[in-house]
Amino acid sequence: MLFRSYEELEGFIKQKRNRNRINVYAYFKNQDTSDTLWHNRFIRKYVAEEPNILDEELVRSTSLEMEDFLRNKRGFYNARVEYKLIYHPRFREIGVDYLVYAGKRHRIRSVQFYAEDSILNSLMQNAKDESFLVEGDPVSSLSYEYERTRLTNLFQNNGYSQFIPNYIELTGDSSNYQVDLKINVLNVNPEVGHPRFTTGKINVFTDFNPGKASDSTATETIDSLQFIRRFINYLVKPEVISSKISFKQGELTNKYKQQETYNRLSQLSPYKFVMIRPSIDSSDLQKINYDLILVPKPKLWEIEYGLELNYTTFNQNDQLFGFGGNISIENNNLFGGAERYVSSLSANSDIRYLDLYEIFITNSNSIFIPKPINWHKYSAFYPVFRLALPRQYTRFKQYAQTRTSLNAYYHSLAETFDILTVNTSLGYQYRPGEQTLVYLDQFTIDYHTATIYDTTLFNEPYIKNSLSPYLLTGFLFDDLTIAITSNTKYRKFSWNISAGIEFSGLEVFLFNKLYNQISGDQDYWTLKLNDGTKLAKYFKTQFEYRNRLAFSSQSSLASRLFIGFGIPYGDNSILPYSKQFYAGGTQSIRAWPTRGLGPGGHEDVILSEDQVAFQKGDIKLEANIEYRFDLPWYFEGAIFVDAGNIWLYNEDENLKDARFTKNFYKQIAVGPGYGLRLNFGFLIVRFDIGYKWRMPYIVEETNSYWVGRSNYLRDPNLTFGLDYSF
């Protein structure tokens, strides 16, 4: 069949086969409820599955529904679906084959539009190019339903608030599998056309309480909007609410603007939910009044907290157990303008031999303002955004939030080094569409400083350079991140994409180059600080793609691809350590410990139990694939293969084969493994074991990158964490 109907038809099957014969066997062997042994109760509750007994009436009903779908939804008017029962005596099972005879498809030859109401007819003719009924397409009742919805929205957006799809009629004349369609829009009755409405009064209830709707209120008219409140002071400033209302008094009623108003008001963090209630004006039947009801959240302050656990091994005698926690405090209306303030503190640590091995502490403070402030007009992206994407820029002004942040990050590694980062930024976030989220930082200043305690471990200059003090700057543009997710209605296959670019020191570098052109100098501007702080100059981009294909409710295939590049420029030879990529660990290539892989073909530096994994690089490539399947009770199993590595962008004479070259593919490390999960719905506990099968360097024992069959199961790396790895 030349259409995507296999999955669609599969959804009509009313009787599904049992998961496997073992579950059915367990059902028959444990039917005696008087047997109270714990393992019998366990099997009856979590393993046994009652056999699905064939019901031929359900099979017949399934075939009829498939026929109806093909005829009315896909244009196969002569479609026929039969079924065949197949008996398997060995297993005492009956299978069902559905035989689909689609026949020839009917297609649209022409489409005409006509409305008895002259205004409706004019609207329809002007917008007919947007029709879902297209010449040459298959005839489908689904396309007709889409077309009815489109026309209904068109009319409701132009003052016809009471228009309903029942007034739209479809007729057709067919010959030789070609159909001439005609869309007729009928009047309410032969003599009366459809009523057209304008917007009347707009009442805004700024702090509505359903249980106390009759409380005494104060009323004030601002910008033709009537604000009604219960409290002495406004919960949210009227001008903030007014800026979110798209329709105005005296305009033709517009369904789209009403929905847009609902969406924008719903973004205001102090409110639990929003409702728009229309009513016809009793003194003028051609007007519709609107009540905008805003119900506040019961509490302006909210607190959330959580815990994290993880476990990993370096070798058979060296393990790390990690735990952490986080707490966040949120105020939904900080200054009375629906500003949202979020402060969070998280701490994570790894324990090795009962001593603290690694500590992460992060404190972030952010204020979200429910509109883009005018500073965005001075950013580097503004002229491109406004001229090249004017419609998206309009949506940006309507829906974007401004985000200001002050953050601190502390990282201590096994009394080897400490890293402290302080960051302040100004940026924006907004949704261009339902499945797309954009983060844009316009202004950022980061200060990175490191204290090295054990200099004997850092013989490589690339590590010392990356741990130098750095000042990261972005005055007109810093970074852009776009996240896109698939439509949730396609449950069998889902995906998401995240892509971003980041600059540091670009404006300083360009002004420096301009100054040198004028003055004839060749020097790079530096900071005259005693600690040797450098101006960070780099470009960084990363791309991540994840997907999940569900074979059934019990099994699926998940995969991930990650590509990251960091390019230092100017007088910089490497990225700051905190901006570099790493490989290995519970969320990466699980056969290696965190930061235990690379860069490039450089052999692992973890030679003894006393040494520390700290490898990072400017470039990262990683791919993961994992087959997941259900097991009895709350258990799930997984079989996976991880592959990838990190590299340096520039050559380092002390690190052999660490630079990214055209032979990078030879340095791809591969680590397969298997895992066990406990899935409680609200919590997933994950155990994974990975094996090093392919090294990024030549293995002396085999004289190849592969460790050899006899060593495939040697030196496993056990990791433990919460949630799926991707």
Instruction: Encode pLDDT of 523-557 as tens digits.
Output: 888 887 777 788 999 999 999 999 999 888 788 99
Helix pair 141-156, 255-266: axis angle to 10 deg: 90
Question: Could you write out the DSSP letters of every residue in 624-682?
Answer: EEEEEEE-STTEEEEEEEEEEEEEBSS--TTSTT-B--TTGGGG-EEEEEEEEEEE-SS
Q: Are 113 and 125 in contact (CB under 8 A)?
A: yes
The neighbouring-strand residues paired with 114 are: 184
Binning pLDDT at 50, 70 and 90, where does residue 457 land? low
Separation between Cα atoms, residue 347 and residue 320, nearest integer Å: 16
What is the SS3 assignment for 270? coil
606 band by pLDDT with thresholds 50, 70 and 90: very low
Rounded to an integer, what distance in angstroms lies between the CA atom of residue 291 and that of residue 199? 12
The predicted structure's pLDDT at residue 202: 97
Task: Summarize the confidence of residues 30-38 as an average pLDDT.
Answer: 65
> pLDDT tens-digit profile of 415-435?
778 899 999 999 999 888 888
Q: How far is CA 455 from the centre of its chain?
A: 42
**pLDDT tens, residue by residue, 695-716:** 999 988 889 999 988 888 888 8
Question: Taking 80 as the threshold, does the pLDDT of residue 383 lie above it?
Answer: no
Q: How confident is the model at residue 32 (pLDDT cuts 50, 70, 90)?
A: low
* CA–CA gap between residue 125 and residue 113 (Å, rounded): 7
How much is the pLDDT for 344?
96
* Amino acid found at 99: L
On whether the 198-296 domain is CATH 1.10.15.40, my answer is: no
pLDDT of residue 1: 39
* pLDDT the model gives residue 41: 66
Token pair in block for residue 600: 């490039």
Give 46's DSSP letter: I
Lowest-confidence range among 311-325, 577-591, 684-698?
Answer: 311-325
The stretch 263-270 carries a mean pLDDT of 94
Q: Return d(Cα 234, Cα 220) in angstroms, integer.
A: 11
Mean pLDDT across the stretch 260-279?
A: 95
Report the CATH fold assignment for 6-101. Answer: Ubiquitin-like (UB roll) (3.10.20)
CA distance 690 to 312: 10
pLDDT digits 0-9 by tens, 657-683: 899 999 999 999 999 999 999 988 878
**Tens digit of pLDDT for each residue in 93-106?**
788 888 888 888 88
User: CATH number of the domain at 107-185, please?
Assistant: 3.10.20.310
| pLDDT-wise least confident of 17-21, 202-206, 338-342, 374-378 | 17-21
CB 681 within 8 A of CB 687: no
In this predicted structure, the answer to whether residue 514 has a pLDDT above a threshold of 70 is yes
The pTM for the full model equals 0.75
Pick from 314, 151, 191: nearest CA to 718: 314
pLDDT band for position 316 (cuts 50, 70, 90):
very low
**Domain span(s) for CATH 3.10.20.310 in the chain:** 107-185, 198-296
Distance CA 387, CA 235 (A): 38
> Whose structure tokens read 């080897």?
416
